[in-house]
């Protein structure tokens, strides 16, 4: 699962054992506890996000949840692009026999558009 912050472009990667709502919710709770609860959460239109369990989670934790159109993935363009970036980072690390965590760290510290890195935008510091 790829979770991205729209402001900073900082993303988290999580390997899911299953794609049930309960599994997704437990991973999101960890991310929200670390970075804070978002005001708005946009997801794809997967079944784990459409059920009552996720709706109750959003209500209890106090964030607005919307889903992107399944027939128009561009509506969630940053998430789609971030998935491509994550796959690319992991593939290159594997091909070069490098630690993928170091590759993620490097991405998070690389300035975006010659401005600030995702880590600097999100945490006000380099990692």
Tell me the C-alpha distance between 48 and 108, whole Å: 28
Domain range annotation of the chain: 2-123
Query: What pLDDT is attached to residue 44?
Result: 87
**Average pLDDT over the chain, rounded to an integer:** 91
Q: What percent of the chain has pLDDT over 90?
A: 80
Query: What pLDDT is attached to residue 3?
Result: 94
Query: What pLDDT is attached to residue 45?
Result: 85
Q: Per mean pLDDT, which range of 34-48, 64-78, 101-115 is the poorest?
A: 64-78
Measured N-to-C along each axis, helices 52-61 and 21-35 cross at an angle, to the nearest 10 degrees, of 20
Tell me the C-alpha distance between 123 and 30, whole Å: 17
Homologous superfamily, domain 2-123: Ribonuclease H-like superfamily/Ribonuclease H (3.30.420.10)
For residue 113, name the pLDDT band (cuts at 50, 70, 90): confident
Q: What is the pTM assigned to this prediction?
A: 0.85
Model confidence over 88-107: pLDDT tens digits? 999 999 999 999 999 999 99
């Amino acid at each position: 699962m790829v979770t991205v912050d729209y402001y900073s472009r900082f993303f988290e990667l999580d390997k899911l054992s299953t794609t049930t709502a309960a599994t997704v919710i437990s991973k999101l709770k960890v991310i929200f506890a670390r970075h804070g609860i978002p005001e708005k959460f946009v997801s794809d239109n997967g079944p784990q996000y459409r059920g009552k369990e996720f709706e109750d989670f959003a209500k209890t934790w106090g964030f607005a949840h919307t889903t992107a159109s399944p027939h128009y993935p561009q509506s969630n363009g940053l998430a789609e692009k971030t998935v491509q970036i994550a796959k690319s980072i992991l593939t290159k690390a594997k091909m070069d026999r490098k630690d993928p965590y170091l590759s993620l760290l490097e991405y998070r510290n690389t300035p975006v558009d010659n401005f600030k890195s995702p880590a600097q935008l999100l945490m006000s510091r380099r990692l």
